[in-house]
C-alpha cells in the first residue's frame, strides 16, 4: 500500500490508514537496522537536503542516518555557514538548492507553517522536522511506534502528555496522530500552558498530575521550553517540579506497567527525575532507536515505496 500524501508537513488531517502504513513500514525498517549490514539500496540515486535552521541532535542525526541506510545522497545545510547569514530568503535559498536537482527537503525552522510555505515553493517532497511550536510529525510517529511496540496497539490506550502543551510541537503532532489512531488522549500541566480548546477536541484535561497518573497507561513527559515562552507562565522551575515533575515517588502511585516517554532533550530534575528517566518504565532511548526506522519508512514511502517491504535485498 502507498501513502496518499506527497509531503509530511504535520499529522493534522493525516489518516489512520496512512499512519498505519508508516508504522508498519517502520517495523520492517527496524528489522533492516538489525541486520549485520543495516543498509538497503532502496533510495540509490535520490538526493535529500537536510535544512536545519534550528538546533537539533536527535532529529538531524537520525534523518541523516536514515538517508544513508537507504543509500540516498545527502547534503546537510547549516544556516551558520550559509548565505542565510548574508540575508538570503528561505525561498531563494531553496530555489537555488533545488536548481541542483534534489528529491527531498527535510526542514527544521523556527517559524510555524514554514514547511507548508516551502512545499508551495518546490517540486521536491518536503518533510517537516519541526516548525516552531506548530508540529513535529516524525517525533510523534516515532512516539507512536514506540508505544505500539510496547503496548501492542494504540486503540483505547490512555496516553497523557504532561507539561508545556501550548508551546510543544511534539504535543500537537501527538494529539493529532493519537486521536486519529483511536487512543484516549489526556493533557496535564499548568493552566497557563494548556490551550483552551483541548476539551472541544475530546481531550481530558488533568489539572493535577496525581489524577493523570492514576489513569494513564502511557505518559509522554514534555520538555519545559523556556526559549519559547514570552512571559512568566509559571512562577519558578522549582514550583513546576513540585507540582508536575515526574518523580519516582509519584510514579510509584501509577499503574505498575505504565510506559514513560520523553522526546528529549530532557531537563533532568525539572520535568522528569533521573530515577524515572533511567528507570525500567522509561522507553526514552527506544524512541531514539525507532526514530531512524520511522524516518527511513517516511522517506521510502514518500519516494513511492509500498508498505510491504519484505524481500529488499542487502546492498
- What is the binding site for ligand CP (CB under 6 A)? 56-59, 130, 139, 263-265
- For ligand CP, the closer of residues 38 and 264 by Cβ is 264
Q: Is-catalytic flag, 58?
A: yes
| Smallest separation, CB 215 to ligand CP (Å) | 25
Q: Is 109 a catalytic residue?
A: no
**Minimum distance from CB of 278 to ligand CP (Å)?**
18
Q: Which of 20, 39, 47, 58 is catalytic?
A: 58
Residue nearest to ligand CP as judged by C-beta position: 59
Which is closer to ligand CP, CB of 20 or CB of 56?
A: 56
73 vs 66: CA distance, rounded Å: 11
Active site residue: 25, 42, 59, 74, which one? 59
Is 136 an active-site residue? yes
Nearest approach, Cβ of 133 to ligand CP (angstroms)?
13
Least Å distance, CB 191 to ligand CP, is 25
Q: Is 59 a catalytic residue?
A: yes
Given the residues 7, 60, 108, 295, the one annotated as active site: 108
**Residue 118 cell numbers, joined:** 516551502
* CB nearer to ligand CP: pick between 42 and 115: 115
Burial 192-201 (b: 16+ CB within 10 A, else e): ebbbeebeee
Q: Is 255 a catalytic residue?
A: no
Residue number, 265 or 304, with CB nearest to ligand CP = 265
CB of 264 to ligand CP, least distance (A): 5
Nearer to ligand CP, 40 or 49 (CB): 49
Q: Which positions are catalytic? A: 58-59, 86, 108, 136
Amino acid at each position: 500500500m502507498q501513502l496518499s500524501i506527497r509531503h509530511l508537513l504535520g499529522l493534522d488531517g493525516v489518516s489512520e490508514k496512512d499512519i498505519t502504513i508508516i508504522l508498519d513500514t517502520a517495523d520492517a525498517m527496524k528489522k533492516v537496522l538489525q541486520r549485520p549490514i543495516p543498509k538497503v539500496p532502496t533510495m540509490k540515486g535520490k538526493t535529500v537536503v537536510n535544512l536545519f535552521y534550528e538546533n537539533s541532535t536527535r532529529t538531524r542525526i537520525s534523518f541523516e542516518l536514515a538517508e544513508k541506510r537507504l543509500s540516498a545522497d545527502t547534503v546537510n545545510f547549516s544556516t551558520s555557514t550559509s548565505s542565510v547569514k548574508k540575508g538570503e530568503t528561505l525561498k531563494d535559498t531553496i530555489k537555488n538548492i533545488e536548481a541542483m536537482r534534489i528529491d527531498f527537503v527535510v526542514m527544521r525552522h523556527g517559524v510555524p507553517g514554514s514547511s507548508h510555505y516551502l512545499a508551495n515553493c518546490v517540486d521536491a517532497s518536503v518533510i517537516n522536522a519541526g516548525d516552531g511550536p506548530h508540529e513535529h510529525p516524525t517525533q510523534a510517529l516515532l512516539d507512536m511506534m514506540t508505544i505500539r511496540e510496547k503496548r501492542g496497539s494504540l486503540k483505547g490506550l490512555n496516553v497523557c502528555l504532561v507539561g508545556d502543551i501550548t508551546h510543544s510541537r511534539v504535543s500537537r503532532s501527538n494529539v493529532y496522530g493519537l486521536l486519529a489512531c483511536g487512543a484516549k488522549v489526556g493533557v496535564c500541566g499548568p493552566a497557563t500552558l494548556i490551550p483552551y480548546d483541548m476539551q472541544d477536541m475530546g481531550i481530558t484535561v488533568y489539572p493535577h498530575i496525581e489524577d493523570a497518573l492514576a489513569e494513564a497507561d502511557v505518559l509522554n513527559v514534555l520538555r519545559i521550553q523556556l526559549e519559547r515562552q514570552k512571559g512568566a507562565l509559571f512562577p519558578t522551575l522549582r514550583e513546576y517540579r513540585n507540582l508536575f515533575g515526574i518523580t519516582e515517588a509519584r510514579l510509584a502511585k501509577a499503574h505498575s506497567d505504565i510506559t514513560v516517554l520523553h522526546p528529549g532533550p530532557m531537563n533532568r530534575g525539572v520535568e522528569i527525575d533521573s530515577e524515572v528517566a533511567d528507570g525500567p518504565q522509561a522507553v526514552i532511548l527506544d524512541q531514539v532507536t525507532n526514530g531512524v526506522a520511522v524516518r527511513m519508512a517516511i522517506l521510502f514511502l514518500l519516494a513511492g515505496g509500498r508498505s510491504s517491504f519484505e524481500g529488499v535485498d542487502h546492498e
